Amino acid sequence: MDSAVLQSSVTLGGATFDPLVWSEPLMWLVLAAFLGSAMLHRVDEAWARRIAVGGWVLFAAFWLVLIPHFALTQKSLIEGVGSLAAVPLSVYAGYLLWNGRDSLFVLTRAVGLMGVVYVPFIAVDPLRQWIVELVTDQTAYLISLVGADPIVVEGFSHNGIEIATKEYPYESTFWFDHEEGPITYNILLACTGMGSMSIFAGGILAVSAPWRRKLRALAVTIPVIYVLNLFRNVFIAVSFGQQRMQWFEGLVMSLFGLSDPRMVSYYIADRILAQTGSVVVLVVITWLLVRELPEITVLVEDLLFLVTGTEYDLQSAFDTDAEGEDGSAVAGDD
């Protein structure tokens, strides 16, 4: 994922600031609030509610400061719109929880557990390096199977040429030789699938269900996301490195504010096709997960209510699907 991580400062109204610098302390505050609320919930619901509501307000602030990063630096329509929508939705979640929608305690706990899974990969350098280089090695192997042969580069430069967008000197850069100069594709933490995997892990661990089915749900969803993410990396790397998607160059360059026409393949492959496909895949995985772990419908129902304002009873729908052909209920395994 070749993105300008080091150049994350943005200028708005004459003022320059770095969204990532502001988002990090907010991330820790949100995590503390949501996990603190989860621990207090069984002993003091009133205080758990206050802390959770505060956490949702901080979560809104977290997404607010990241809007410029996703929209202007990353130039990602899906992530930009998603972070923009997350601001009012987070405030609304806090409002509903304050006014007695207690099912949102589960969503609060889920977000906290997502952070428990994901944040160590941000905060612990050896752990981050391990997952980034593991994904790089596996992506490189899959790329070799499709006949491409880029060099995998360690460090911040190769053959005297600096890799300007690289944040860490890991062995994580695919170097494609090109007649107009090298094309580099960096595997970042965001390219490892850890974000999506942590979302599903947090949701599965947060709901009330037998551990046997929770572990089975994790065993089904996490490997699927991981493998599909590897193929996503291969698709982007080959499409960009071999310039296979130089379509509508003028339009794409104007839309994303690009100065180098060779970046067109990257933005079509990643920002348009891969990110859209990822959303579709995650929806399908969620549908399959609900069939395996119906208890997670409490999270899906709350998310749907936040977005649409309409109540849904997904649990009843899936209970109906679980009936036998003669209308009798089919017993579960737990």
Say yes or no to pLDDT of 77 above 90: no
pLDDT digits (tens, 9 = 90+) for 248-280: 999 999 988 888 899 999 999 999 999 999 999
Global confidence as pTM = 0.86
Question: Nearest-CA neighbor of 263 among 252, 276, 275?
Answer: 252
DSSP for 29-47, please give it.
HHHHHHHHHHHHTTT-HHH
Question: Nearest-CA neighbor of 212 among 293, 330, 102, 104?
Answer: 293
Find out whether 192 and 135 touch, Cβ atoms under 8 Å: yes
pLDDT digits (tens, 9 = 90+) for 138-156: 999 999 999 888 999 999 9
Please, is 34 exposed, middle or buried when counting C-beta atoms within 10 Å of its C-beta (0-12, 13-18, 19+)? buried
Distance CA 275, CA 281 (A): 10
Task: Indicate the helix (H) or strand (E) that contains 173.
Answer: strand 171-176
Q: What length does the chain have?
A: 334
Residue 301, pLDDT score: 93
Beta-carbon contacts of residue 272 (< 8 Å; ≥ 6 apart): 77
- Per the structure block, which two tokens stand in for 86? 């997350």
Question: Nearest-CA neighbor of 108 among 52, 50, 57?
Answer: 52
DSSP for 236-298, please give it.
HHHHHHTT----SHHHHHHHHT-S-GGGHHHIIIIIIIIHHHHHHHHHHHHHHHHHH-GGGHH
Question: Nearest-CA neighbor of 238 among 181, 281, 174?
Answer: 174
pLDDT digits (tens, 9 = 90+) for 196-229: 999 999 999 999 999 999 999 999 999 999 999 9
* DSSP class of 323: B
Catalytic residue numbers? 191, 232
Say yes or no to pLDDT of 10 above 80: no
